Amino acid sequence: MKKIHKSGFVEVECKKCGSKQHMFNRPATAVVCNSCGEPLIKPSGSNPIANENAKIIKPAKEEKKIEGQ
């Protein structure tokens, strides 16, 4: 049976201070900037919802197929 994983990581840039950080692409909690504490991403169970202070630089890769159980 093949499992398809759509989860991964993305790079986010804070428009206020310019710092960049990596985050999970399906966040369950709010994401804030590590440098200035500005809220960047709203929690969601699917794709990230960027605030006006955030810019998603590198979107997640396409589906990865993994052979398994």
Listed in sequence order, the residues at least 6 apart from 26 whose beta carbon sits closer than 8 Å to its beta carbon are 6, 7, 44, 45, 46, 47, 48
pLDDT digits (tens, 9 = 90+) for 45-65: 677 788 898 888 876 554 455
Supply the pLDDT for residue 67.
54
Surface-to-core class of residue 14, CB atoms within 10 Å of its CB (0-12 exposed, 13-18 middle, 19+ buried): buried
pTM of the model: 0.68
Supply the pLDDT for residue 63.
47
The CATH architecture that domain 2-60 belongs to is: Single Sheet (2.20)
Strands 9-14 and 54-58: antiparallel
Where exactly are the structural domains of the chain?
A: 2-60
